[in-house]
Structure 1
Amino acid sequence: MNIELTLIVELLVLGCISGFLAGLLGIGGGMLLVPALTYLATAQGFPVGYVVKMAVATSLATILFTSLASVRAHHKRGAVRWEVVKLLAPGIVVGSLLGAQIARLLSAKTLALVFAVFVTYSAVQMFIDKKPKPSRQLPKGAGMFGAGTVIGTLSSLVGAGGGFISVPFMAWCNVAIHTAVATSSALGFPIALAGTVGYLIVGWNLQGVPEGSFGYLYLPALVLVVATSVIFAPLGARAAHTLNVKQLKRAFACLLFVLASYMASKGLAA
């Protein structure tokens, strides 16, 4: 398998950035990874109908590792509410598997547009730093299962770690924001695990995939991004407890607008 040196460097740098952001903002890195991997896969001449789904699947697989790295740092500070993780995880697993099945039915164009809409909405919320009013407590039983299912489905569709949904949800339910970010990092693992398995299942007999691919999962990108993201995710997690991230969020929101525009253009041009 021959991979250009330039691509290797780009993927390693991408891992540094996505890993740090995963730890800092509790977002899993997918909002950045999916557009970046889509761009790189397109530049490599991968089949047009596969690039977005490959980017989503590979992004989810990287979150398996970045979530473990960042949650370890958060756990050392006692910031993760594991009882919340246990209640949300069953619904998240179901939703993540469901999201992969929905993605299989969507065209590359539609999936790119879904991603663009989701990221645009998330960027607006991040830019204005809108915090849900903590007007209620966390639900029980079926309520947490339903919330987990929604989080898992949307996250699996867009290749994200769920932070853009789970953090506002927990804040709305009177969970402190730092605790919500830390708990969101822990939720990234079941999202990524179930989502990756889901994409492996739907891409099992996929034909014409690039060398180094396992269905929709592009293994070289996974290995290279993970190699640096697992180093930088704990750094981001530590920074989250010491920095006022409001200005960083606004800067990242501006980047998200650009990435959303790129994905929308990919969808409209498909």
Structure 2
Amino acid sequence: MKPILRHIANLWTLMHYPSRENEWSLDEKLQAIKEAGFDGVCWAPSPELYEAATRRGLIFVGGMASDQASAFPGLLQDLKQYGATHVNVQLAGDHVLTAEALQLTLTLMEEGHCLGLLPAIESHRGTCTETPEKTYALANAYQQTTGQLLPISWDFSHFAVVKHLVPDNFVKRLLVRPDLIQNAQQFHFRPFNGHHVQIPITNRDGGLTKEVLDWLPFASALLECWLADNRNHEREIFICPELGPVEGGYALSTFPDSWEDAKRLRLEIQKLWNRLCSMDC
């Protein structure tokens, strides 16, 4: 048995693409995602997305954001109805402290599991997991209460910016909970440095930027950490090259084309995976 890498594109990358005036239709976006070699797509559920993704054989990783437990049943039912199993959850606001976040998480997990869904709490700015301290406090409280590891959808870019890290200490400062990393199945691979949550992938000549070359050893160490406990299991890992457009507030106006960069990043992630798996997988 071997682990399986699933490449997931986020429709966010294709927001107003290639321009606001001439934005691709949903069908055009999903066709481009399929042709680029992605296995699936992440977004909020809808009947249109479900039909078009299913027709192309694309996995649907659902997305939701809420701070109201009363909204969970409806959101989760929609995700279930429109084909999700794994769900990326942006939970509550940054003002929410651990005790309240824990109660929301317990409710979310119970209701999601009853529907056969696998929610994972994303580490994300503006939410109850916006910092490493808040994320690990929630994870610890969840484990103390349930005896289980908290399912997390990891995006380390936010933590790196909060702490103003440098590439030399990415691994030391970010891979501090191997148990939570190895338990996870959702990862957002948006290259970052200590001051920019998103950096350009390619130069004008088509080569990789120095910033990405500085980030790749961290990505490799992260995959190696995950594989250390999953190498001999037929378990899926869902990796999203989470690149946002200029209008999303993540890319700068001088950055290359976000979609073209996302496609290139998918190839680089596959190279890392192939190299690590060739060792023993």
How would you bin the TM-score normalised by the shorter chain?
under 0.3
Structure 1 or 2, whichever has the larger Rg, is: 2
Larger relative strand fraction:
2
Larger relative helix fraction:
1
- Higher relative contact order (Cα pairs below 8 Å, separated by 6+ residues): 1
Q: Compute the TM-score of the two structures, normalised by the length of structure 1.
A: 0.27
